[in-house]
Structures are given as C-alpha cells and as structure tokens.
A and B are shown apart, each in its own frame.
Chain A
C-alpha cells in the first residue's frame, strides 16, 4: 500500500515536471512570437492617428457605450494602388533570387572542395567558413564601404593596372547590394551543401567512371541530383533572409534600391505609419509562406515521381 502511494506521488511529480518543461517554452513562444504576429495582422487593418501609439484602435466604445469594431482596408488598397510597393516587392524578389543563384555558383565549388579536401584540412576550412558568421554582420557589410568607395583599394588597383581611367562608381548601386548579399549569406549556402556532399558515397562516382562516364557528366548526372536537398536547403537559407533584408540595401544601396524590408523600416521609423508598416509586414509574410508552400509541393511531387 505504502509503496504504491510513493509510486503515485513520484509519477505525479514527473507529470508536473513534464508539464512545466513543456509549458514554459510553449507559453513563452506563444506570448512573444505568436501573439505579436496576430497583433501585426490586426493593426494592419487600422489607420494612423496622431497619438502614442499612433494607431486608431480597432475596438472603441462609442458615446452610447456600445462597443464599436472598425476595420480599415485603406492600407491594402493604398499598397495595391501605389506602384512603389509593388516595385519594391518585385525588386526584393529579384535581388534575392539573383543573390541566391550567385551564392550557389560560388558556394557549390567551395563546399565540394572542402568536402573532398584531405581530412586534416577539412575542419580548418570548415571553421574558416563558419567564422565570418560569428563576426558582426553589420561590420562585415560596413567593410565594403571602404573597399568600394571612389578612392578605395579596388578603384586604386584597377586604375594602376590601367583597366579603367577614372574611378568606378560602385557604392550606392545595386551591384554593391548583390555583392553584400552574397558576401553576408555565403556561409549559409556552403554549410548545407558541405554536409550533403560529404554524405555522398564516392563509390557511386567510381561506378559511373567504371561504366565510362566522363567526370563532368558524372557530376551532372550523379553528384548534383544526389545533393539536391543540400542545394534546396542552402538556397532557402540565403533567399529567405535576403528578401526581407534591411541593413545591406540601407548601407550599400543607393536611394533607388527599393527593397521591401527597407520600405517597411521607413514607413515605421520615418513616416511613423505603424498600420501601413504592419500591412507591408503581413504581405511580406504571405509572400514567404507562399514561396515555401510552393517549394514543398514541388519537392513532394518530385519525391513521389521517384
């Protein structure tokens, strides 16, 4: 009797602990991650007002103490009508896609080289890829300002070599933004590619070679398809942060470099239009979710066809 009593209380304690271990992070994430997103969604249907906070509340009590509920669609109609927002969305997707492709073209050979390097070298090279990720993102973007400026080392070198006769304007251009994006997100591309290539069984390539397949063909018919998951993961890890990027276009881009993260920032900080910034956030979120859903569909269809 007494042993079973001890047992029950012990189990109860376990249950309580279990609830606590699950409950604390769950409640934290719900409160500080999920609820904020719902608030953004709500406020995107509000309208600005000169007050603090500068938002017209959705629920108000009228003079007759009746709860009133008002939704404004004005932010969304405004975004749809002003071509600036559409252009910013299109431009963000374009810049992110091109940067992802460039990062893939540079990152794949790098990852391949690291995965196939002598064992003693591998961990050093791997660390060299990871290390920039740990050093300040902002400062790494900043480093390019000096490099790209009119009197900077790149222009000085090209002038000395006689390739150009007057300094190139590189700073505050889209070129600088692409450069900054590839530079900042290259490690995100290399890491998943590296683990995919490292897992690849070299005997498959040997078999292909034995059967008379040329190395280039073997690469496209064997290596590339077998590392497609790594490619997809790397592309997502570069594309997603690039679409909503604020720092790189703000620091390296010109006034004409329209990107949606920058538009959101400026609506919020410069124009103090919180509801409009929220609508931009909702649309950006929908864009990303749509993108990921489409990608998953394609992937599962491919998996099914195999």
Chain B
C-alpha cells in the first residue's frame, strides 16, 4: 500500500485546519487593532492594548465572568461526583432493574436540543416554585442545577470509558485483605480512574462556562453570565473589546487544556514506570 497521503487528502487537511483556525487567528490579530471599525486595520496606531485595558476596567464584564466562573466550578464538581456514581452503576452493577431507563437518562441530555432542555428546566423551576416555594426566583442556583444535569451526561461518558477498562482484580485483592468498600474505592479505584475524573471535571467546567442557550432560559434578572453578556453585545455587531475578551478566553482554555493533557500524560508514564519497576523488583 502506498504509505504517503494522496495530494487530495493533504489539500483537504490543510484546507480543513485553515478553516478551523483562520477565523480564530484573525480575531486574535484584530484584538490589537486600534480602530473602532473592527475590520479595518489602523496601521498608524496598531498594535495596541487599549481594548484589553478597557476590558479590565469594565465592571459589568468582570461581574459576569465572576458569576460564570463560580457556576462553572460548582457545576463541574457536582456533575463529576454524580457522573462518577452513574458510571459506576453502569459498569459495575450488572443488569439492575431500570438499567435501560438509566442509560437513556444519562445519554439523552447530550442529544436533546439545548432550547428544549432550557425550556423544560425553566418550566420545572417555575412549577417547583409554585408548589414548594423553592427555588425562589431564578439565578445562580437554577443555572447551576440546569448545568449539572446536562454536563453530568458528558462527564459520565468520560468516566465510564475509563472504568470499563479497569482491572478489577486490584479491588478484589483489597476486599479479600479486609478493606471496606468505601476504602477500596478511595484508595484503589479513585487514584486509578483519577485522570478520567479530572478530564470529566474540566469538560463539565468548559461546557458550563460556554453555555448560552440553557442559561438564558433558567437565569433571572441580576444574574448575567459571561456568554449572555457576550451574546447581547454580539447581536449589536462586532466590537473590539469582544475580540480582546475572546483572545483572553481562547488563550486561557488552550493553555489549560494542553497543560492538563500533558500533566495527565506525564502521570500516566510515571505510573507505568513504577509498575515496571515493581515487576522487576518482584522478579
């Protein structure tokens, strides 16, 4: 077989990657443009950092970012805990009663259009408020609950993938030696599935940090998240401070994703080396 890629495949790859990255790169470049007209490059005064300075002085944007961060962090922690439990049930509990409904419930939030998820959550919160008086009004709490529900589905997939390739003999050995199930989980299982738990947490954080549609349905006056604020600005057209904000967000996420990826890879390699050393020691 011909080992080299055909010119057609190479062209399509170059085009595809250019298609994915040129808009982002241009957005980053234009964030240093001095002109208020976003698409016209003002070569006399550019590059400039003035939009970044304006951004950091904008209290509205900072408040929205703070709210988004808080919601995303709480959501990521909560949904990762729920997802780890759900993944555990799916992989370990065999054929329990209600399993197929459970599978449906853990996957459906990923395929349900966001407008439906958002609308249904809002109607639930309104009905709950009418019946029990809780949650009173809508804000950070309702946004977090809604995010946890849809992020949990994604996080479950990530943890489940790792758990299903897990060597159970380690757990069984610990149980045979008299460890309690909870201790086995904390000392044996959790450290082994930790990379997937970290990935799930990160994924849930990012999904929540980015979400606009579901948030718009379940948020109330006085709780505007960053995507909501960006959206209201975007609808008025391009603005240079959004370019600056976009650049900061893209850079942060890129660094975080690559950093966590490298960290997990290094940890994996170290564990492999340790296991090898242990084997050699035994031999």
Given contacts A127-B258, A284-B113, contact A29 B149 (CB under 8 A): yes
Do A139 and B250 touch (CB < 8 A)?
yes
13 additional A-B residue pairs with CB within 8 Å, beyond A22-B85, A143-B23: A17-B181, A25-B86, A33-B109, A39-B127, A110-B17, A113-B13, A114-B13, A116-B5, A142-B242, A151-B39, A183-B19, A183-B20, A281-B115
Residue B112 at the A interface, CB < 8 A?
yes
Please indicate the chain A residues that have their CB under 8 angstroms from the CB of B210 in the complex.
136-138
Is there an interface contact between A149 and B109, defined as CB atoms closer than 8 Å?
Answer: no
Is there contact, CB below 8 Å, between A146 and B234? Answer: no
Residues of B participating in the A interface, judged by any CB pair closer than 8 Å: 1-2, 5-6, 8-10, 12-13, 15-17, 19-21, 23-24, 26-27, 30, 37-40, 82-83, 85-86, 88-89, 93, 96, 98, 102, 105-106, 108-109, 111-116, 119-121, 123-124, 126-127, 130, 145-146, 148-149, 152, 180-182, 206, 209-210, 212-213, 216-217, 227, 230-231, 234-235, 237-238, 242-243, 245-246, 249-250, 253-254, 257-258, 261
Query: What's the nearest-Cβ distance from chain A to residue B21, in Å?
Result: 8
Residues from chain B with a CB closer than 8 A to the CB of A40 are: 116, 119-120, 123
A251 within 8 A of B: yes
Chain B, Cβ-Cβ closest to A262: B115
Asked if B230 contacts A139 (CB within 8 A), the reply is yes
- Most chain B CB inside 10 Å of its own CB: which residue of A113, A250, A288: A113
Partner of B16 from the list A25, A106, A215, A243 (CB cut-off 8 Å) is A106
Is B115 in contact with A183, judged by CB distance below 8 angstroms?
Answer: no
Cβ of A147: which chain B residues have Cβ within 8 Å of it?
23, 26
Q: Given A29-B105, A30-B105, A142-B246, decide whether A202 and B26 contact each other with a Cβ distance below 8 A.
A: no
**Are B24 and A132 in contact, CB atoms less than 8 angstroms apart?**
yes
List A contacts of B98 (CB < 8 A): 26
Give the chain A neighbours of B105 by CB distance below 8 A: 26, 29-30, 33-34
Q: How many A-B residue pairs have CB under 8 A?
A: 231
Contact A127 B261 (CB under 8 A): yes
Docked Cα-Cα span, A215 to B4, in Å, equals 13
A244 touches B114 (CB 8 A): yes
B24 touches A140 (CB 8 A): yes
13 contacts between A and B (CB under 8 A): A13-B181, A28-B152, A33-B108, A117-B5, A129-B20, A139-B27, A139-B249, A142-B238, A143-B26, A244-B113, A264-B115, A281-B115, A284-B113
Interface of B is mostly: helix
Set B123, B181, B246: member contacting A43, Cβ < 8 A: B123
Taken together as a complex, chains A and B put the C-alpha atoms of A34 and B104 apart, in Å, by 10
Q: Which of A145-181 contact B (CB under 8 A)?
A: 145-147, 149, 151-153
B39 touches A136 (CB 8 A): no
Residue numbers in B under 8 Å from A250 (CB-CB): 235
